[in-house]
A and B are shown apart, each in its own frame.
Chain A
């Protein structure tokens, strides 16, 4: 009987196509929005997790808590860490991000820029408009070479091509030969003056001499216990510098898991928040279903009278109208799921295809969040049951004499 009722419900809904589709739109959009948010959230999270775990980031990262600590992340600190002789640590890899400065061309035209110190691997990832990245030899020999952004080239030399081979001077001293020009990194800040120097030159930067490294990557052997080593490193630093407690501690020891966990928490809260907003549209959709089912019951009053005359019990009638409501919400839910997945796929495809034009974007992975599909379909069914039950009960309770008299 249930299958027959479902088939009949489908026939009934088909005979009223326009109305059915309009009624389902609330559910379709609600479910599509929830699915899209969950899918995109998941994709961003997975992508971010991978970027963090297997990219330039070390396994554990030591940073200064604030600039005022007066305790630079310098070689002395690394020596302290090294003397602790933790067997799981492969090496301590200090990183210096860079600093601000002013750059001049031969005519003494100047430009405010940000100087970033990079290894060859990082520079290779950039998109070159002219020239080429600096080489491992350049890094090893501390060659005075640089890669600049297109904007910098434009401002100081008129074009990317004409900048190649030219020399620039930094306010901190020293001349650098331009070997490459890269695309501006961000679409949002086109006026981007940027200079890339071999990593080994970082130690000459005045900012480095004052503040030390930006952070120290601690690379661990595979399978090492992040948490344990993090706290061991913290211990070493606290003892070496005489910090009494967490409050006094001038350094922060973060491990990748912490960072991933932070991102995960953030993404979860963010996704749930957005999904809740989207869920409001599901409730609105449910009210739409209830409304149209009430119209249905009124329009089919005579049919309900007939059903009773033919021997339908109240539960048969309740059931038939509930099935109709649920079929409608499940169809809406299923269309919504497809739309949500399709939409997310399209967004991710667009980002992966075109975002590279505007800077250094990771390739986002497309991950279907299966749980969200199950939940959406369950919720759709529940909406049909909840919002369909009042109209269905109303239909079942109709007085057959009155109902048959209706036209």
Chain B
């Protein structure tokens, strides 16, 4: 659907990020411009120190840029309050982390349910939605298991299911295969491709690994806080 791809979901304009102040101030991002359209699967690649973690935090609205504008679904979100940003993350952004970040004391269903608690999804609808996303990642039978009973690959697929539960516009995956062996890594990447294809969810993968980046439609390279061609 080439038409749909034209609509920018994320638009970053002249983003800078400075840590510290005065003489100790360090500029990590020096005017980053990025446009990512709906339905795209994009890799943001860079070595450590390139500013990709900072960029990911800004994309995920966990951090604010020092200057520049961030448009999410054509809305300027720079002036959003902390609660507005929390709601945006809840509704529109699904996170997938390198270390899975599942809560070990909760079972799989409860872990996936979490975002629906914050999103005030009616209790009656939750079980059905949990089943649907678990089905999507082929782990419906693990619903009552606990995270530590699953393999790394399975845990990451649960994390993907959790990222999908609110039907977000964007999935932000930070080194999603970093803690996995290469065979499992391929499986997880294929899962993300499938999600992208079947649901049209925009996926942004932050990685330093070219073999991961090649799964994406295109790659944005970051070096020393700047986007390079």
> With A303-B103, A306-B101 in contact, is A311–B91 under 8 Å at CB?
yes
Q: Judge if B115 is at the interface, Cβ distance under 8 Å.
A: yes
Pair B105/A310 contact, Cβ less than 8 Å: no
- Give the number of chain A interface residues (Cβ < 8 Å): 22
Q: Judge if B118 is at the interface, Cβ distance under 8 Å.
A: yes
Bound complex: CA A112 to CA B60 (Å): 95
Bound complex: CA A12 to CA B103 (Å): 11
Q: Judge if B187 is at the interface, Cβ distance under 8 Å.
A: no
Q: Which residue of A lies closest to B83 (CB)?
A: A313
Bound complex: CA A310 to CA B87 (Å): 9
Could you give, for residues 284-318 of chain A, a 1 whenever the CB lies within 8 Å of some chain B CB and a 0 otherwise? 00000000000000000011001111111111100
Pair A314/B83 contact, Cβ less than 8 Å: yes
Pair B97/A310 contact, Cβ less than 8 Å: no
Q: Judge if B76 is at the interface, Cβ distance under 8 Å.
A: no
- Which residues between 130 and 149 of chain A lie within 8 Å of chain B, taking CB atoms? none
> With A310-B118, A313-B118 in contact, is A15–B101 under 8 Å at CB?
no
Dominant SS among interface residues on chain A: helix
Least Cβ distance of A179 to chain B in Å? Answer: 77
Q: Judge if A346 is at the interface, Cβ distance under 8 Å.
A: no
Q: Which residue of B lies closest to A1 (CB)?
A: B117
Q: Among A1, A309, A315, find the residue whose CB has the most chain B CB atoms closer than 10 A.
A: A309
Q: Judge if B49 is at the interface, Cβ distance under 8 Å.
A: no
- Contact partner, B105, options A12, A314, A316, Cβ 8 Å: A12
Q: Which residue of B lies closest to A15 (CB)?
A: B105
- Which residues between 45 and 99 of chain B lie within 8 Å of chain A, taking CB atoms? 57, 60, 62-63, 82-83, 86-91, 95, 97
What residues make up the interface of A, taking CB atoms closer than 8 Å to B? 1, 4, 8, 11-12, 15, 302-303, 306-316, 400-401, 404
Q: A314-B86, A404-B101 are in contact. List 18 more A-B contacts (CB 8 A).
A: A1-B117, A4-B117, A12-B105, A15-B105, A302-B101, A306-B97, A306-B103, A309-B95, A310-B95, A310-B115, A311-B87, A311-B89, A311-B90, A311-B115, A311-B119, A316-B86, A316-B117, A400-B63
14 sample A-B contacts, Cβ–Cβ < 8 Å, listed by A number: A1-B117, A1-B120, A8-B106, A306-B101, A308-B62, A309-B95, A310-B114, A311-B87, A311-B115, A313-B83, A313-B87, A313-B118, A314-B83, A315-B83
